[in-house]
Amino acid sequence: MSDHENFTIILSFFFRTMDDTLIAQMEFLAEDELVEIVPNMRMDPINLICGDFGPFRPQIATQVPLWLAVALKKRGKCTIRPPEWMSVDKLTQVLEAERDTGRVFQPLPFHYVEISRLLFDHARDDIPDIYMVKSLIEDIKDVRFHKIGTGLETISGRTNAVKLSNLSAMEVNIVRPFLAGALQTFYKLHNPEMVPESERRGSRRPQGADRGARRTLKPR
């Protein structure tokens, strides 16, 4: 009983509705990713807490965090080079692979949703074939969401943990409240006290050794 309560208390911290600030936080964290820019001015190296960047010389590409790149771009001091995963070919490849494999998620940058949105907003002219890229990313997002949905349908009472590999930050944050709540309810309903003795003994090994099936959504 006390074990069950502890579990409930711990889960209640995660069982929180998503609000706007949470998404804004994800975007904030995504802005730490490094991107390549091509400055068109000359500047000395800048020393920040997170690292030193520069020196900036015209037409020489450097790596800076995304927030810095967007800030420079807004002032017209650089052009942003889109990251290599953001080309039409690569994205088409990823989309095909997503559509073919039923349960596996393709490896994508953790913050691909946020990064792509930031770049679309601020660096429209730097991305070749922007409409194509945009629609490809939208499709990839939809396919992955659909996969998450179908995967979550198979959660049963014996699931202790759900493992979703290669999920991106935004997707994780969207399903997390729902998933935590659902798992909690399943756990509560499938408590050993609830399931009668006779059923348990027939189908399972003794309680200590049995953790239930590992419900991974990625086949091994």
Partner 1 sequence: MAQYFDIDDILAEDELVPAVFKEAANGVGIFDSSDDTNRVEAGSKAELPFWLASELHLRQAVSINVPLVSIKSKLLIISDDFLMCCFSSVYMVFLNVRTREEIEADAAHVDLRKRCPYFYELGCKLAHLIDDRILSDKNIGPVLFVAFQTRYKDVLVKAHTSALSVTAKNLTLLTREETKLYETAQSSTAAFKKWKMGGPRFQKAYVLGRKRKPTE
Interface residue list for partner 1 (CB under 8 A): 5, 8-9, 12, 15, 17-20, 22-24, 27, 117, 121, 145, 149, 152-153, 155-157, 170, 173-178, 181-182, 185-186, 188-191, 193-199
Least Å distance between CB 109 and partner 1? 18
Least Å distance between CB 41 and partner 1? 28
| 85 vs 145, beta carbon nearer partner 1 | 145
Least Å distance between CB 64 and partner 1? 23
From the number of C-beta atoms within 10 Å of its C-beta (0-12, 13-18, 19+), residue 207 rates as exposed
Q: Kindly state the DSSP code that residue 85 receives in the 8-state scheme.
A: G
Bridge partners, residue 104, by sequence: none
Least Å distance between CB 152 and partner 1? 6
| 76 vs 196, beta carbon nearer partner 1 | 196
| 10 vs 61, beta carbon nearer partner 1 | 10
Of 42, 44, 69, 70, which is closest to residue 58 (Cα–Cα)?
42
| 27 vs 98, beta carbon nearer partner 1 | 27
Q: How far is CA 8 from CA 11, 70, 184, 187, in A?
A: 5, 43, 7, 9
Residue 73 dihedral angles phi and psi, to the nearest 5°: -65, -40
Q: Which two tokens stand for residue 211?
A: 């953790």
